[in-house]
Amino acid sequence: MGNGIDEWIASKEEMLKTWRRELHQIAEVGFCEYETTYYIVQQLAELGFTLHTGQAVMEGDARFGVPSADELAAHEQRARDNGVPADFLAGMSGGFTGVVAVLDTGKAGKHTAMRFDIDALPILEEADAVHLPAKEGFRSRNEGMMHACGHDGHATIGLGIAHFIAERKEELKGTYTLIFQPAEEGSRGANAVVKKGWLDGVDQFLSGHLGIRPNPVGTLYSGSTHILATTKIDASFTGKTAHAGMEPHVGKNALLAASSAVLNLHSIAPHGEGATRLNVGRFEAGSGRNIVPGDAFLQFETRGITTEQNHYMKEEAVRRLEGAALMYDVAIDYAIVGEGLAAETDAYFLEKIPKATASSHYITDVHDRMEVNGSEDVTYMMQHVQEQGGLACYMIFGTPLAAGHHHKRFDWDEGALAVAVSALAHILAHE
Amino acid sequence: MGNGIDEWIASKEEMLKTWRRELHQIAEVGFCEYETTYYIVQQLAELGFTLHTGQAVMEGDARFGVPSADELAAHEQRARDNGVPADFLAGMSGGFTGVVAVLDTGKAGKHTAMRFDIDALPILEEADAVHLPAKEGFRSRNEGMMHACGHDGHATIGLGIAHFIAERKEELKGTYTLIFQPAEEGSRGANAVVKKGWLDGVDQFLSGHLGIRPNPVGTLYSGSTHILATTKIDASFTGKTAHAGMEPHVGKNALLAASSAVLNLHSIAPHGEGATRLNVGRFEAGSGRNIVPGDAFLQFETRGITTEQNHYMKEEAVRRLEGAALMYDVAIDYAIVGEGLAAETDAYFLEKIPKATASSHYITDVHDRMEVNGSEDVTYMMQHVQEQGGLACYMIFGTPLAAGHHHKRFDWDEGALAVAVSALAHILAHE
Amino acid sequence: MGNGIDEWIASKEEMLKTWRRELHQIAEVGFCEYETTYYIVQQLAELGFTLHTGQAVMEGDARFGVPSADELAAHEQRARDNGVPADFLAGMSGGFTGVVAVLDTGKAGKHTAMRFDIDALPILEEADAVHLPAKEGFRSRNEGMMHACGHDGHATIGLGIAHFIAERKEELKGTYTLIFQPAEEGSRGANAVVKKGWLDGVDQFLSGHLGIRPNPVGTLYSGSTHILATTKIDASFTGKTAHAGMEPHVGKNALLAASSAVLNLHSIAPHGEGATRLNVGRFEAGSGRNIVPGDAFLQFETRGITTEQNHYMKEEAVRRLEGAALMYDVAIDYAIVGEGLAAETDAYFLEKIPKATASSHYITDVHDRMEVNGSEDVTYMMQHVQEQGGLACYMIFGTPLAAGHHHKRFDWDEGALAVAVSALAHILAHE
Amino acid sequence: MGNGIDEWIASKEEMLKTWRRELHQIAEVGFCEYETTYYIVQQLAELGFTLHTGQAVMEGDARFGVPSADELAAHEQRARDNGVPADFLAGMSGGFTGVVAVLDTGKAGKHTAMRFDIDALPILEEADAVHLPAKEGFRSRNEGMMHACGHDGHATIGLGIAHFIAERKEELKGTYTLIFQPAEEGSRGANAVVKKGWLDGVDQFLSGHLGIRPNPVGTLYSGSTHILATTKIDASFTGKTAHAGMEPHVGKNALLAASSAVLNLHSIAPHGEGATRLNVGRFEAGSGRNIVPGDAFLQFETRGITTEQNHYMKEEAVRRLEGAALMYDVAIDYAIVGEGLAAETDAYFLEKIPKATASSHYITDVHDRMEVNGSEDVTYMMQHVQEQGGLACYMIFGTPLAAGHHHKRFDWDEGALAVAVSALAHILAHE
């Protein structure tokens, strides 16, 4: 059934590039992908998929780190100004972005789910021509938001494979669920998709990422390991301001409490049974130089090579927040604003994918597994599928990188889009 | 010569209140007092003083913590929008605010200088009617800037005593220099006035402050002690970002360096010979939760009961910044953005003022000296005068306080204005 | 009645020197002054005082920081070996050292109490001839214990004034209570003497110290100020050891908890209303380099210019210990092992003493008050007397100093002994 | 050639137990194994090995962490008191302990080296009968020193295999070098043996450890992985003492510098490419509670899964020491007192050992490799052999454990001795 796949893909290469560049220009941060969702729906409209949007996509309460009502409203206004129809927008109101597209071939067969994350980052994209999107005119039009992690590519791959399924639906069997997931950054959206039931009964789950580490176009990793379990925590210390010269003893110093917390968070002992991580990435505190600071805010994350080891880090971290607050007699309030699990690609795919893709001219070099050493909330989906007896895979699609992920000059080779679609198409065809 | 002073002041009470309320509404932060300067010049115009503005007021390079060119330009635009004539504004361009008003009686006599600070704070003033300026309609029209330290009152007192001098110039002797000083907050402006020479040859220097601690209207302190020497420092740590999960060892963690600096700054040993203070009032660091933070910024101040003790604190603080930077292999860059000295009111005034003010009905209760335990850059002027053999005084004018200094509901009793003008007038008349 | 005092003292100078040198050689630390107590009792035996020793001197439970039973037993054995009779020693068993000597003249008059502290320090005395006691053969025979704070002199002054009272008892009126107090170092003994009732009903309390700062012999300060209130705390953190390479996460790191406590103790904000101090003077933790440390021990002290300000420091310190322990999930156990109050010499003495001592040839230079800036548990006695309406005084007896207090080469000029006895004698005679 | 090995070992089981218990009683810390060395020499005397002792064993300057001359002298005196002949002792003077025993069969063949570490730990052994050595009368007679890591067993295994070689020398080929190494604890002795040339030209290197983790007797691991590279550092901070109440600003606080160092050492970022460790195991600082501490001493270690990663930790650690010292203006002096490398057992042994030991009844369960996650200076020998093209192996001999390594109740099953000798004997016989 693999006949003609590469030829078909070759005919779509211009389309893939167009989708990618249009998506790149409407970069939107997590739970605010209003323009992006509308765009995806437009591209999928005629293909025969049943499209689910709005509150059908995610269980609202299971989302982590949803922006404030004010922020959401501002983003909705922006989307309206940029042409998203009011009634479509109304359906997504409150951060209910994303699309689930389902196609049942009507023939007995596996239920295959695929996930493509669609959110961007709060980064001001490079405007200098040294950066290809700037040079070639497809830099983000949403200033301060940028696809700096390749999710524009992931959504494009999803559109590509959707077209493939639509065109080959006579030959294919079983059911196909394509999840265009909001808010992967910060590990915030996947859990809410799982809780809505979209992964229930899935036999085979396919997902992947562009890049991670630089590789030539044509490189494919059949799976991954060392996706770290992670917890994202926001912590606020609230003390009491006072004049620092006249009555320093009256203050309750939240900035000092937070500084002490930082040092003691970073000195949590590593776990003897596998790698752990902690990073305090943001610190904001105080108002004026001569005022004992009454407030402090930290953003940090823990990670562990397994869910258990991340749990150890989280427990230790929370105790340290509480201890630091006690020291300085300030209140501590913390919230878990994101969480990801550890998960492994099933060994099944390490055998299957090299065989399935052997005939593809796009794929020149297949490796076993990449050590990711980062976090991904796709793990909620992988774990849910595996717990039900299904099989889950997280591939890596090779590409050179102009700069590291999350950098304002991050860019990659659009040739990797055809490789990724080819890989997925060959896997689907190889049943 | 004290005859009729109280009566004259009684006739001016409404005028004092009007000045104060108009000044309150045009609150402007240090070196941005464009509207305020114009207002003062208008009120002084007809009195016979020679008025000096623009670059004549301050030595440009001796100013501490001047806002950036962008910030100054934005404030100049705001002043223009609010009606300050373009040519007058042009004379102040670049943060050259403030007024020096000089009147020479033509008769031999002392050269008396007086200082009135005119800047406000970057505080959003309370809008609720519980706050008198909000209730009575004279809340700051410059949103985000507020007279929360009484300098609107100080400028008003300056206008009042200017009118007194003008009306009594036939009776008075010697020369009178009234300094309407910018940027007292942060101890940034006084040094530049001194360096311009305005205190050279001054025999007697009078200044003061409303409030400090709550007292009934009518209370007067003839001087002050424990004005703390101070240094204001901004410190930037610059390290190197890295992905916190994949390659934490590659980062140079500026946030950790700054946190360590904070704890070790606050553990500088107190000086055995008198009170010292240190306060880190602001901390900002990092970009994203999963990025090893490559930058961190601290704002802090040191204080000492004497200039020497503040020097000890400053030296220790700088060494700790350097040590923290060395620990984490990050660069440290710091700037002194404000500085104040210690100074004492001369004992001469503790005798003179009670006598001079004995006949005032406004002044009901005269004390010796108040312990300030705060900092004031008026000390540059006091010390300069004293070093030349002159005498210097810093009075406190009693008033109840609705909330502490620098609080968004800070307010005081306008009755204190007449008391202050009465005190100064009686002192001038009592030669 | 002052007639002949100086002449009498002149006749005793050799005796003073002998007492001092013999006491110096039997230096003993607090609550272990077994030889010293016996020596004092021997010298007072024939003078007509009623002598109280053993459990009559101090309320046992009100003593702070009593050595362990093993340590006390070792010191008792040492005293036995050095010739203290077994039955006398038995009366002091368990750290009940010190002497209270009372003489009632039988005539109506003031009840005057005087206090002389008698303990030494755990310091190995300099053996080189550069140190006078070594050169002249009266270095401490109790190795590792040394009179490095002048209490050998204080006890000598007490013996001197006891002889004066005994010889002049016909001329004197009222009652005289001489307290030879144990364990002043660490502020451990005075409270227990007060609790036993020895200061009840006292009208006039006299005490003092040699040195503090170097001054010529003949200098007398009629009182003192800035005796700091203080609390002495021992803190033990107990966690759990673990192999640092294999299972670091299993340990509960007491050393890290204590290190964090130290930094955060030293960053307690100074009190705005007067000087405060904190010093962690000892840190011991851990067993081996490759073991997560399961135990840590800190010795520290807080001080404040008033009892209230010391209380603030103590409260803050205890909270920080608890917070540090919570951070690292270790147990914290702390004990107050010493405490001293703030106290001021009554102004009465600043007038009286210069007059009373005016005729003494020994006293050449009388000052008002010295700022001590150290702590002394004599304050328990001063405060108790003052609370009952009595008057209390803490003088300073001037002497040059060979090295600072608590230094292994500390030494002073024995000429100060006559000055001190002369001062006390003239005060007693001047009623 | 494996015929009869198990029978021969069975005949030696009592002897093994006797050696072990006698060695256990003369436990001695590193470089002080005077009695132990003498004992080993006695047991090897008649076997035909050439015995090298004294300065022939180790390159003196390449030893890490040699005790002070005073400590060595005290240990030598103890050994003399315990019966080591004066002339034998003289040959080891200055910490030149250990034995190298060489037997050349005279036949062409491999040069096989084996290493047995012989030192004990500074631990007071459990005296309660709950501890088998106490119950059965072979507790350490050298109070405060204890074989709490099984090196008594290792030395016993060495004696056992020496007897095996001696008895079978007609059948064996090549050369056998048995190294009884001093001072493994703290990674101090192996480097000095290598530098003396004892591993030059070795083809096959065998070594191992009892226990590590509890396993049944009969368990054998054919090799090990994750022996961590390590560096042992002693750091001394030297500041300046001062009276904490009177002149805290005069002190240079070494205790605070060390506390700050500890927190910042423990917050060195983990290496992204493999496990790293740091442990501050000892902290001693200060003299008295009221003295600003002028000295502080830390003992710590770094580790890394590779030598490169340990190097990263060491570099970071040293910079933090220097930064902490700079912060507090104290001097820092540090010394590397031990160092170990990372090393891996060659895969060759993972195949060979199961085959070679297949016929042993003592060995019931052979595993591939154990993850050690601890450090061992045997790695100097392994790396040296491997760099010359030889093969190196570090086995683990299973035994239940009464308590963890380095615990005062550490004990193991003496049945493991026969297993270990059987394993080595079968390997030697299997050429």
For residue D184, pLDDT over 60 is answered with yes
Question: Per residue in C80-116, pLDDT tens?
Answer: 999 999 999 999 999 999 999 999 999 999 999 999 9
Q: State the chains in contact with D (3 or more Cβ–Cβ pairs under 8 Å).
A: A, B, C
Q: Is B430 helix (H, G, I), strand (E, B) or coil?
A: coil
Contact A266 D267 (CB under 8 A): yes
Contact check, Cβ <8 Å, B270/D249: yes
Q: Which residue in A279, A289, A293 is closest to B232 by CB distance?
A: A289
List pLDDT tens digits, range A380-424. 999 999 999 999 999 999 999 998 888 889 999 999 999 999 999
Query: Which of residues D284, D319, D339 is at a domain's end?
Result: D339
Which residue, among D241, D252, D264, D309, would best test binding to B if mutated, counting the most B CBs under 10 Å from its CB?
D264
Task: Express each pLDDT in B49-90 by its tens digit.
Answer: 999 999 999 999 999 999 999 999 999 999 999 999 999 999
| Residue in C264, C267, C270 closest to B275 by CB | C270
Answer yes or no: is pLDDT of A372 > 90. Answer: no
- Judge whether A291 is closer than 8 Å to chain B, CB to CB: yes
Do A13 and A156 reside in the same domain of the chain? Answer: yes
Spatial contact of D146 and D36, defined as CB atoms under 8 Å apart: no
Is C189 in the same domain as C284? Answer: no
Interval A101-110 mean pLDDT: 96
Regarding whether C276 and C159 lie in a shared domain, the answer is no
Identify whether residues A177 and A288 lie together within a single domain.
no
Residue D29 sits in a domain of what CATH number? 3.40.630.10
Q: Phi and psi (nearest 5°) for A294?
A: -100, -5
B2 has pLDDT over 60: no
Share above pLDDT 90 across residues of chain C, in percent, rounded to a whole number: 89
> Which ranges in B142-271 belong to alpha helices (H)?
151-167, 190-195, 254-265
Selected residue of C228, C262, C266, C301 to mutate for chain B interface (largest B Cβ count, 10 A): C266
Q: Indicate if A200 and A297 belong to the same structural domain.
A: no
Q: Does A292 touch chain C (CB under 8 A)?
A: yes
Quick check: A263 contacting D, CB < 8 Å?
Answer: yes
Both A115 and A21 in one domain: the answer is yes
Would residue B201 be called left, alpha or beta, if left means φ above 0 and alpha means ψ between -120 and 50 degrees? Answer: left
**In the predicted structure, residue D1 carries a pLDDT above the cut 60:** no
- Residues near D46 by beta carbon (within 8 Å), at least 6 away in sequence: none
Q: Taking a contact as any Cβ pair under 8 Å apart, which residues of chain A between 2 and 31 contact chain C?
A: none
Range of the domain at D266: 229-339
B266 in C contact zone (CB under 8 Å) = yes
Instruction: Flag whether residue D400 sits within 8 Å of chain C, measured between CB atoms.
Output: no
Whether the per-residue pLDDT at C2 is higher than 70: the answer is no
- Using one digit for the tens of pLDDT, what is the confidence trace for A188-223? 999 999 999 999 999 999 999 999 989 999 999 999
Cβ C267–B270 below 8 Å, yes or no?
A: no
pLDDT score of C159 more than 90: yes
Please judge whether B245 and A277 are an interchain contact, meaning their C-beta atoms are less than 8 angstroms apart: yes
Give yes or no for a contact between B298 and B258, defined as CB atoms under 8 angstroms apart.
Answer: yes
Chains near C with 3+ CB pairs less than 8 A apart are A, B, D
Select the residue of A279, A286, A292 nearest B292 (Cβ to Cβ).
A279
Answer yes or no: is pLDDT of C304 > 70. Answer: yes
D191 — contact with chain C (CB < 8 Å)?
no
pLDDT of residue B374: 84
Residues C197 and C236 occupy one common structural domain: no
Q: Distance of alpha carbon A257 from its chain centroid, rounded?
A: 32
Q: Which residues of C touch A319 (CB under 8 A)?
A: 326-327, 329
Cβ of residue B266 closer than 8 Å to a chain D Cβ: no
> B272-300: per-residue pLDDT in tens?
888 999 999 999 999 888 889 999 999 99
pLDDT range class, residue B401, cuts 50, 70, 90? very high
Whether the CB of B68 is below 8 Å from some CB of chain A: the reply is: no
Which of D245, D249, D328 is the closest to B312 by Cβ? D249
Which secondary-structure segment (H or E) carries D304? strand D295-304
Q: In this predicted structure, what is the pLDDT of residue A2?
A: 53
- Percentage above 70 pLDDT, chain D: 100
The answer to whether residues C31 and C146 belong to one domain is: yes
Contacts of C51 (CB under 8 A, 6+ apart): C41, C44, C45, C99, C100, C101
Quick one: C257 and C389 in the same domain?
no
Confidence grade of residue C245 (pLDDT, cut at 50, 70, 90): confident
Q: Which pLDDT band, with edges at 50, 70 and 90, does A120 fall under?
A: very high
CB within 8 Å: B250 and D272:
yes
Q: Smallest Cβ distance to A275: which of D263, D275, D373?
A: D275
* SS3 track for A245-307: CCCHHHCECHHHHHHHHHHHHCCCCCCCCCCEEEEEEEEEECCCCCEECCEEEEEEEEEECCH
D312 contacts on B by Cβ (under 8 Å): 249
Cβ–Cβ pairs < 8 A, chains A and B:
158
- Which tens digit of pLDDT belongs to each residue from C227-241? 999 999 999 999 999
CB contact under 8 A, A286 and B299: yes
D287 inside 8 A of chain C by CB: yes
Asked if residue A47 has pLDDT above 80, the reply is yes
pLDDT 10s digits, C186-244? 899 999 999 999 999 999 999 999 999 899 999 999 999 989 999 999 999 999 998 89
User: Same structural domain for residues D246 and D366?
Assistant: no
Exposure string of B133-172, with b = 16+ CB inside 10 Å and e = fewer, is bbeeebbbebeebbbbbbbbbbbbbbbbbbbbbbebbeeb
Query: Which CATH number goes with the domain that contains A235?
Result: 3.30.70.360
If asked whether residues C166 and C41 sit together in one domain, one would say: yes
Q: Are residues B308 and B349 in the same domain?
A: no
| pLDDT computed for residue A423 by the predictor | 96
What are the percentages of helix, strand and coil residues in chain A, rounded to 5?
35, 25, 40
Which residue of B256, B319, B320 is in closest CB contact with D267? Answer: B256
Considering CB atoms only, which of C289, C301, C405 is closest to D299?
C289
Q: What residues of chain A lie within 8 A of the CB of D269, using their CB?
A: 266
Three-state secondary-structure class, residue D261: helix
Cβ contact A262–B255 (<8 Å): yes
Residues of B whose CB is below 8 A from D254:
none
Question: What does the pLDDT average to over C240-268?
Answer: 94
Task: Say what the pLDDT of residue B246 is.
Answer: 84
Asked whether the beta carbons of residue C326 and residue A323 sit closer than 8 angstroms, the reply is: yes
Last residue of a domain, one of A323, A339, A355: A339
Give how far C344 is from chain A: nearest CA, Å: 24
**Cβ-based contacts under 8 A for chains B and C:** 21
Length of chain D counted residue by residue: 431
pLDDT for the residue numbered B41: 98
**Chain A contact for C237 (CB, 8 A cutoff):** no
What are the tens digits of pLDDT across the range D338-357? 888 999 999 999 999 999 99
Residues of C in contact with D275 (CB under 8 A): none
For testing the chain C interface, which of D184, D283, D337 should be mutated: the one with the most C CBs within 10 Å? D283
Which one of C288, C316, C339 terminates a domain? C339
- Indicate the number of domains in chain D: 2
Calculate the average pLDDT of chain A. Answer: 95
Residues 6+ apart with CB under 8 A from C213: C370, C401
**What does the pLDDT average to over D22-50?**
97
What is residue A113's three-state secondary structure? strand
Q: What is the DSSP letter of B54?
A: G
Q: Amino acid identity, residue B98?
A: G
* DSSP 8-state class, residue D365: E
Residue C384, pLDDT > 80, answer yes
Which residue of B259, B262, B265, B266 is the best one to mutate when testing the C interface, meaning the one whose CB has the most C CBs within 10 A?
B266
Tens of pLDDT, residues D241-273? 888 888 899 999 999 999 999 999 999 999 988
| pLDDT, chain D, mean | 95
Beta-carbon separation of A326 and C326 below 8 A: yes
Whether the pLDDT of residue D163 is over 90: the answer is: yes
pLDDT in the model for residue C407: 86
Check CB contact of B358 with chain D, cutoff 8 Å: no
D124 contact residues in C (CB cutoff 8 A): none
Average pLDDT over residues A46-73: 96
